[in-house]
Structure 1
C-alpha cells in the first residue's frame, strides 16, 4: 500500500512547509519571525500556521531520520537540563557519546530514579550498531533517493558518565538487577567528565528562548523532538550528510518527505 501524502489537504506546498519547519527547529527564531520572513518573500503565512506545522512535522521528521543514524561509541555521557512549561520546571534527559553524538533524549516531569530508569531503557532500545548505508544524493537531472534501512542490533555501553545526582546509581543498579544492563557496565560519577554534554545543552537552550516558553507538556515534547533531530543533522550523524553540509540536510529532509529539493 502506498504511503499517504503527509502534506495532503495543506494549503501551501510541501517545500514551503518544510522550509519553515527546518528554519524554526534549526535557528533561534520565533513563529512571528518566520511570519515576517515569509512575508518578505511574498507569502502570507500566519505565525499560528507555522506553529501547527512544527507540531505536526517535527515528530515526523525525527521518526523518519531515526533509521539512518550512524553508529555511536560505547562511552555514554548522561545529564539532564531544565525546561520550563507553563511556569513549572520539567527535565530533559539527554545522552551523548564520547564524540558528542546525540544518543537519545526524554522529557520528564520529574527528576528521580524512576525517570532515570525510563531514560536508560529508552537509550538502550534506540541505540543501534548499523552497517553503512546509502543516503540521498542529487545527481544531474535526478531526484535524490531514500537510503535503505540497515539491519541493526542494540549497543550495550562500556561506561556511563553521570553527575552527582543520586538517582543515577539507583537506576543503574535496578537495571543490572533486572538483567537489562550487564554487570560489567561501569558507572562513573565525575562531574568534569560530563563537560561535553553540558556544552551540548546550549544548543537546545538557545532555541527555547525565542519561543517564550511552552504551555503544555505535549507541545513541548513535540517541539523538542524537532530541536534534537535538527541538532543531530547539524552534527553530521546521518549517513552521507557531513557536519556543516547544509545542502545535504535540505536534500535529506526533502527526500524523507517525498518533496522536491
Structure 2
C-alpha cells in the first residue's frame, strides 16, 4: 500500500515537492524562476514567488536539521573573510571551515575589525560548544586580538597559503552572488548564506579523496538523511 505523501501544515503542496524546490535552489546555481520552470516541466504549476516563500520558511529549518546530523567537525578552524557589496556598501562575510573543508558557520558584518572578529569567534564557540586545538587565519590582525582574548590556549597560525580551505569555500558564495545579482540587504545575505552553506555542503563530500564506490555511498547517505530530515515519504 502506498503511504499518503507527507505534508506541512498550512501548505497545499506535498512536502516532497517543497523540499525538492528548496534543494534545487540551494544545491545548484538556479534562480527561483529556473526552479519554477523545472517544476513546470514535471507538471507542477507553482509560481516563483511561492518558491521564494518556501525557501525563506523552510531553508533555515532544513539547514538546522542538516547541522545536527553532520559528524562532529574537526579541531582545526580555518577562518577567513571576504567582502560583499550590498546596496553600494562594503560588508564582510566571515566564514570558518574545519580541516576537512566542512563549513562551521558564517556571519555577515559591516566591519572587519577586532570587535567583528570577536563577535564571530563567540558565535562559533556558542554554536559548536567546543574549542579547537588550532586556528589558521590570514594576516589580518583582528584575528590575533580575538584569539588572545577568547582562545588564549589555542595555537594560532597565520599564513595565506595554509588558509586555502577557507578561501576556496567562498567560491559557491561568489557564484550565487552573481546569479542573484548581488544580495539586497545584510539580513537577506545572512539568511540565505547560512542555509546555503549547510544544504550545499551536505551534498558536497570531498570527492577527490574518495573512490567511486565511497562517493556513491556518501551520496546515497546524503539523500537518505535529506529525506528523513525534510519528512519526505518515498512511495514503496
TM bin, normalised by shorter chain, reads 0.7 to 0.9
1:62 equivalent in structure 2: 63
Q: Is the 8 A contact 1:96 1:102 kept in 2?
A: yes
Asked if the contact 2:135/2:154 (under 8 Å) is kept, the reply is yes
Equivalent position of 2:182 in the other structure = 213
Match of residue 74 from structure 1 = 75
Say which is worse superposed, 209-218 or 50-59, in terms of deviation: 209-218
Dislocated runs of 4+, deviation >6 Å: none
Post-superposition Cα deviations, 1:140-161, rounded to whole Å, max 9, x if no partner, equal xxxxxxxxxxxxxx33212211
Q: Which runs of 5 or more structure 2 residues have no equivalent in the other structure?
A: 1-5, 207-213
Of Structure 1 and Structure 2, which has the larger fraction of its residues in helix?
A: 2
Q: How does 1:24-39 map to 2 (within 5 A)?
A: 24-39=25-40
Secondary structure of 1:207 counterpart: helix
Deviation at 1:125, TM superposition (A): 2.1
Contact 2:7 2:14 in 1 (8 A): no
- Residues 141-194 of structure 1 show CA distances to partners (whole Å, capped at 9, x for unaligned) of xxxxxxxxxxxxx3321221111112111112222xxxxx2x331212111110
Does the 8 Å contact 1:6/1:257 carry over to 2? no
Encode CA deviations 1:180-232: one digit per residue, 9 max, x unaligned.
Answer: x2x33121211111012111211222223212222222222221122101233
For 1:122-141, what aligned pairs fall within 5 Å after superposition? 122-127=123-128
Mapping of 1:116-195 within 5 angstroms?
116-127=117-128, 154-175=129-150, 181=151, 183-195=152-164
Distance 1:120 1:243 in 2: 33
Query: Given the two structures, how large is their TM-score scaled by the length of structure 1?
Result: 0.77
TM superposition shift of 1:234: 2.2
Instruction: Supply the RMSD in Å over aligned alpha carbons.
Output: 2.1
Query: In the alignment, what sits opposite 1:151?
Result: none
TM-score between the two structures when normalised by the length of structure 2: 0.85
CA–CA separation in structure 2 for the residues paired with 1:30 and 1:18: 16
| Corresponding position: 1:107 with 2:82 | no
